[in-house]
Amino acid sequence: MRNIFLFIRRHLNFIFFLFLQGLSIYFIVHYSKYHQAAFGNISNRLTGKVNDQYSRINNYFHLKRVNDSLVKANERLYNKLRSDYQLPDTASRLVVDSIRVDSILQYKKFSYLSARVVSNSVSTQNNFIVITRDKPGELHNGMGVVDQGNAVIGIITDVSGNYAVVMSLLHKDSHLSGKLLKGGETGTLNWDGKEPNIITLSNIPKSARVAKGDTIITSGFSTTFPRGMMIGTVTEVLAEKSTSYFRIKFKTSADFNNLQHVYAIESTEQAPVNKILEQIKQQQH
């Protein structure tokens, strides 16, 4: 303790200088819009680099788990490719190759781009996931994102270089469409911000036959996700008293607490559909 006081006494002027310097920087950044923007830009860059390095170290200690999941993912993809070529005309095909594979001359509808998770949040009302891909320019807004098990995670909302921000299903403004696999009834996904991995499916009529354990999949009513991708499993069915709808709670198939590698889905139909919708908006104005 005595040495500490001696050190402070010996370097009192220098410590006081550092205090005044820090206080000056605080006032400049806090009261100057220009310096505040400059400092925020630098801070975001440093934070991104730190998160990137931390993610690399964390991924190193999970290599075995990642390798095991990649083996399962490859096995699933190989089975799908085999069905594409041997049964090209069946309705079970989810992805059609861009090369002509039969006399009907069908083409690839969806492409999958692997990406690495840099940062992820699950404890706020507005949760986002930041992903990166080695080749810049391949990720863009509106692309759907799934985990290694083909379970829905969210949609890309912002892109900068080879980084992209994904609006997670655990976001209050995320309202994707989902449907019951058994009966085909379609509803809207909503997160109440309470429990991670527990989401609500609303607007399902009470005439629907739904029970605990039923599967919820993508409806295919948009160009973002193919029809039939896993979203979750029903955990609770609640009948709303004032409406004719069920409020269904389900557990997501994706584990948002353990995301390391994901796939961004590119649709060949997205650009033409968006162009038509934009033309309609312009005509209405």
pLDDT of 100 > 60? The answer is: no
Q: What percent of the chain has pLDDT over 90?
A: 31
Count of other CB atoms within 10 angstroms of residue 103: 8
Structure tokens at 249: 């709670």
pLDDT number for residue 278: 73
Q: CA dist 167 to 152, 220, 227, Å?
A: 11, 19, 20
The answer to whether 242 and 97 have CB atoms below 8 angstroms apart is no
Q: What's the CA gap between 253 and 229, in Å, rounded? A: 10
pLDDT of 58 > 80? The answer is: no
Place of tokens 């095991």: 68
pLDDT number for residue 84: 36
Who wins on pLDDT, 198 or 40? Answer: 198
Q: What's the CA gap between 175 and 88, in Å, rounded? A: 33
pLDDT number for residue 227: 87
pTM score over 0.85:
no
Please report which confidence band the pLDDT of residue 41 belongs to, taking 50, 70 and 90 as the band edges. Answer: low
Strands 215-218 and 230-239 come out as antiparallel
Task: Give the class (CATH, top level) of 177-252.
Answer: mainly beta
Average pLDDT, the chain: 79
Structure tokens at 164: 């992209």
Q: What's the CA gap between 194 and 61, in Å, rounded? A: 30
pLDDT of 275 > 90? The answer is: no
Q: What's the CA gap between 18 and 145, in Å, rounded? A: 47
Q: What's the CA gap between 272 and 284, in Å, rounded? A: 19
pLDDT number for residue 248: 94
pLDDT of 79 > 80? The answer is: no
Q: What is the pLDDT of residues 116-127, one digit of tens each?
A: 899 999 988 889
Please report which confidence band the pLDDT of residue 36 belongs to, taking 50, 70 and 90 as the band edges. Answer: low
pLDDT number for residue 88: 44
Give start-end residues of each CATH 2.40.10.350 domain in the chain. Answer: 177-252
pLDDT number for residue 213: 94
The answer to whether 259 and 147 have CB atoms below 8 angstroms apart is yes
pLDDT of 18 > 60? The answer is: yes
